[in-house]
Amino acid sequence: MKKIVPETLYEMRFVSAPSISPDGTMTAFVVSWADEEANGYKGDIWLAQEGAEPRPLTAGGDGRSFVWTERNTVRFPALRDGADKKRADAGEPLTVYYEIDPRGGEARRAFAIPEAVGAIRDIGGGKYLCHYTHDTRMDALAALEGPARDKALADVRDPAYYVLEDYPFWFNGRHIISGKRDRLGLFDASAGTLTPITDADFNCDGFDWEGGLVAFTGSPVSHRNDGYSGVYVHDLAGGGTRCLMEPDVMGGDLLGFWDGKLLLAMTDGKLPVPDGSGMTYEDDQYPDFFLMDPATGERTLLARYEASAGYGTVGSDARLGGGWGAKADGDKFYFLTTVDDSTFLRTIDRDGRVSPPLTPAGSCDSFDVREGSLVYCGLYGGELCELYGGDGRRLTHFSRTEDYTYAPPRMHTFTDRDGYVIHGWAMRPVDWEPGRRYPAILHIHGGPRTVFGDVFHHEMQVWANAGYFVFYCNPRGSDGRGNEFGFISGKYGSIDYEDIMAFLDEMLSQYPEVDPARVGVTGGSYGGFMTNWIIGHTDRFAAAASQRSIANWTTFEYTTDIGLRFAKGQMRATTDTDAEKLWSHSPLRYAKNCHTPTLFIHSDNDFRCWMSEGLAMFTALKKAGVETKLCLFRGENHELSRSGKPKNRISRMNEILAWMDKYCK
C-alpha cells in the first residue's frame, strides 16, 4: 500500500458536473486531474450509459466544461486552432465552442463568441443564453485597426497602471474587476451575433430560462455590490426587461423556473436572535422558499427552511469542478443542502413539503435529474468524488482508497458548557501502535458557515500518514445546525474559541497516547482568523500554521472584495460606528501576547483575505521575538489549497508539515 503524501495529488481524479442528455439515454460528466508537466489542471468529458462501462468522449485534456445541445450532441469550450490561440494570447476575449457527437466522430469547431463566457444554455433554434464577463476597456478598440489596435490590446492585457472606479475594485480569483461587467446575452450561432440582455452598468449574478422568459439576479454597478441583488425577467420575444424585486429587499438565490413560477431561496434577515440582545440575524439568517410570479413579481411563501439551499458546504481539498446545485423536474424541485455534517440532495414539492435526504451522509456535490431519473456526484466512504445513480449504485471507480494507507475518521460528540452538542472527528496515525506517544494537529475550518465531515481530505490524510493524530470539529458558527447554532456575529473569538478548546480537551482525554505538549494548530480563512486568535490567547500549542487569515477587521473592511459587507455583518460594527469593537475582535491586537512558533501562509492575489493580514501578523510576531515564517505564494488566491497550481499546493503542504515536524516532533 502507498502512503498518502502531498504528491499523491497527481494520482487523484476528480469527477464532477453530471448532466443527462435531452433524450435521457446518456450522462456526460467531467473527469479532471492535476497535470505535473503543465503545472495546471486538465479534464476530459466522459459518458455513462446503462449496460456499458463509462468511456471518455474527449481525450485532449481540454474538456473541463460542456453543455448538451437539443440534438443530443455535446458542446465544450476549447482552444484547438492556432489562429484562435493567437487571438487569445494577444488578449482578445474569446470563447470557442467545439461540438462532438457521442455516437461517433471527431470534435469540430462550432462557433466562437467574442467574450469570456462562463455559463451557456442552448435554448433551441441555434440560439444560446450566455453569462459572460465584458471588459469595458475593450469598447474603445472597436474603431481601431492594425498596429494601433494591437498596441491598445496590449495595454488592456498588460496595463502600466490600473484605473479603479468601481467597488469592489478587485475580486478573489478574478484580479482587478473595476470596469468589468458580468453580463447576460443572447448569442445567435447562425448570425454570429451576441446581443446583450443586461445593461452596460449592471452586473448579473445568475440566470434561468423557461419558454420565452429569462429570469436573472443582479444589481446596478452603482449599487457597490455590497448589498442584496434584485430579481429581473426578460422577454426574449419582446426584448423588454422588468424588475420583479428591487435590490436590497431580500438576500439569497434564484433557484430557477418551476412550471412558470420562480423558486427563490431568500430571506429578509429580520428574524430576532433569541438571546435578548435585540439583534436580528440579518445576513446570517437561513433562507426560506418563495414562489414568485414572473408576470407580477408577487411573492408567496412556500415553506420555512433553516439550512442552505442550492449548494453544499462540506469542506475538502479533494474536489474539482462544478455542476447543478438546484433544478426542477416535474412536480418536484431538487436542491443541495447542508444538514448537520453532510450535504444532501432533497426535494420540495408544490405544497412546500421538503423530502428526507435522497443521498447518503457525506457530500453530494452536484447532480442532474430528468423525468425522475437521477445521477449525482459525491464524496462517500473515504473515496474521492465519484458518479452515482439515483439508487445509490456507484457508476465510476476512479478512486481507490484501498490502495493507500488511509486513516478513517472517527466521529465524537460532546456537550459544551452552554448545552450545545458539538460534532468532531479524530484520525489516528496510520502507523498507530498502542503504548506509543504521538503528536497531533488541530484543524479549524473556514467560513465559518461551512462544516467538516467524514469525507476524504487530502492534507489531513497527509498528516495522519506522517505520524500525527488529526482532530477537527464543527464549533458554534458552523453550517448545518440552524440559525441559532450558526450565529456568532459580533462574537468571534468567544463562544467559538471556547468550543474549539473544549473539543481539544475532550480529544486529549479520549486519546491519552497524544502528547499534549506536542499539539499544533492550523486553519484557513476563518480557520486562519481563529489560529491567529488562539496564539494571542493561549500558549498551549507547540506550533501554529495560520493560512489566508484575518488579522485586523479595520483593514479587512476596506481592502478586501467582500470587506464592507462581511465585516459589518460578522462583527455587527464598522470602522465608522464602532472601531473599538472591530479592534477588540482583531487577533493583531493580541499578537503581543504570542509565544507560539507560527507559520503564515498567504497568497499575493488573495483578495478575500488580502496579504496585508498575514504580513501584519508576521511583523507583529517578529517584533515580539517569536519564531515565525511567512510563505507568500505568487499568483495564487484564496483558493490555493483547493485549486491553486499543483506545485504550489504541494509546496504549501510540505511547508506546513515541515513546520509541524520541527516543533511537534
Do 598 and 535 touch, CB atoms closer than 8 A? yes
Q: Beta-carbon neighbour count of residue 42 at 10 Å?
A: 15
Cell of 350: 408544490
Q: If we measure between CA atoms, which residue out of 101, 47, 48, 108 comes closest to residue 73?
A: 101
Helix (H) / strand (E) element for 415: namely strand 410-415
Q: Beta-carbon neighbour count of residue 609 at 10 Å?
A: 30
The pLDDT of residue 365: 98
Ranges of H-type helices in 53-178: 82-89, 146-157
The contacts of residue 623 (CB under 8 Å, 6+ apart) are 592
The distance in angstroms from the start CA to the end CA of the chain is 25
The radius of gyration of the chain's CA atoms, rounded to the nearest angstrom, is 25
What is the rounded CA–CA span in Å between residue 461 and residue 520? 16
The position carrying cell 509565544 is: 595
In one letter, which amino acid is 557?
A: E
Q: If we measure between CA atoms, which residue out of 423, 435, 444 comes closest to residue 512?
A: 435
How far is CA 181 from each of CA 115, 203, 204, 231, 566, rounded to the nearest angstrom? 11, 6, 8, 17, 22
Do 344 and 336 touch, CB atoms closer than 8 A? yes
Do 528 and 538 touch, CB atoms closer than 8 A? no
pLDDT at 301 over 80: yes
pLDDT at 440 over 90: yes
pLDDT at 192 over 90: yes
What is the rounded CA–CA span in Å between residue 254 and residue 265? 6
Do 32 and 321 touch, CB atoms closer than 8 A? yes
On whether the pTM is more than 0.95, the answer is: yes
Do 451 and 313 touch, CB atoms closer than 8 A? yes
Cell of 523: 486553519
The pLDDT of residue 223: 67
Where does residue 206 fall: left (phi above 0), alpha (psi -120 to 50 degrees), or beta otherwise? beta
The shares of helix, strand and coil residues in the chain, as percent rounded to the nearest 5, are 20, 35, 40
Burial of residue 647 (CB within 10 Å: 0-12, 13-18, 19+) is middle
The position carrying cell 445567435 is: 188
Summarize pLDDT for 65-82 with one digit per residue, the tens: 999 999 999 999 999 999
Mean pLDDT for all residues in the chain: 96
For residues 577-586, average pLDDT? 98
Order of strands across the sheet that contains 261-267: 251-258, 261-267, 288-292, 299-303
* Largest CA-CA distance found in the chain, in angstroms, rounded: 78
φ, ψ of residue 295 to 5 degrees: the values are -85, -35
The pLDDT of residue 506: 98
The pLDDT of residue 227: 82
Please, which pLDDT band fits residue 400 given cuts at 50, 70 and 90?
Answer: confident
φ, ψ of residue 125 to 5 degrees: the values are 70, 25
For residues 392-400, average pLDDT? 94
- DSSP state, residue 456: -
CA atoms lying within 13 Å on the CB side of residue 208: 20
The pLDDT of residue 224: 62
Q: If we measure between CA atoms, which residue out of 469, 533, 459, 496 comes closest to residue 664?
A: 469
Strands 40-48 and 27-35: antiparallel
Set out the domains of the chain in order of their start, with CATH numbers: 407-664 (3.40.50.1820)
- DSSP state, residue 4: P
Q: If we measure between CA atoms, which residue out of 432, 419, 423, 321 comes closest to residue 366?
A: 321
For residues 153-171, average pLDDT? 93
Angle, helices 526-535/495-510, rounded to nearest 10 degrees: 80
Summarize pLDDT for 464-477 with one digit per residue, the tens: 999 999 999 999 99
Question: Distance from CA of residue 663 to its chain's centroid?
Answer: 32
Q: Beta-carbon neighbour count of residue 511 at 10 Å?
A: 17
Do 273 and 279 touch, CB atoms closer than 8 A? yes
The pLDDT of residue 399: 87
Cell of 614: 498575514
Summarize pLDDT for 40-68 with one digit per residue, the tens: 999 999 999 998 999 999 999 999 999 99
The helix/strand/coil state of 452 is coil
- β-partners of residue 477 are none
- DSSP state, residue 356: P
Do 615 and 588 touch, CB atoms closer than 8 A? no
CA atoms lying within 13 Å on the CB side of residue 193: 4
- DSSP state, residue 559: H
For residues 508-518, average pLDDT? 98
Mean pLDDT is lowest, of 24-33, 100-109, 137-146, 414-423, for: 137-146
φ, ψ of residue 647 to 5 degrees: the values are -65, -35
For residues 294-318, average pLDDT? 97
Summarize pLDDT for 467-503 with one digit per residue, the tens: 999 999 999 999 999 999 999 999 999 999 999 999 9
The helix/strand/coil state of 132 is strand
Q: Beta-carbon neighbour count of residue 114 at 10 Å?
A: 17
The helix/strand/coil state of 223 is helix
For residues 583-610, average pLDDT? 98
The pLDDT of residue 106: 93
Question: Distance from CA of residue 555 to its chain's centroid?
Answer: 24
pLDDT at 206 over 80: yes
Burial of residue 512 (CB within 10 Å: 0-12, 13-18, 19+) is exposed
Strands 628-633 and 598-603: parallel
Q: Beta-carbon neighbour count of residue 579 at 10 Å?
A: 14
- CB neighbour burial string for 521-538, b if at least 16 within 10 angstroms, e if fewer: bbbbbbbbbbbbbbbbee
Question: Distance from CA of residue 273 to its chain's centroid?
Answer: 27
Cell of 205: 449574478
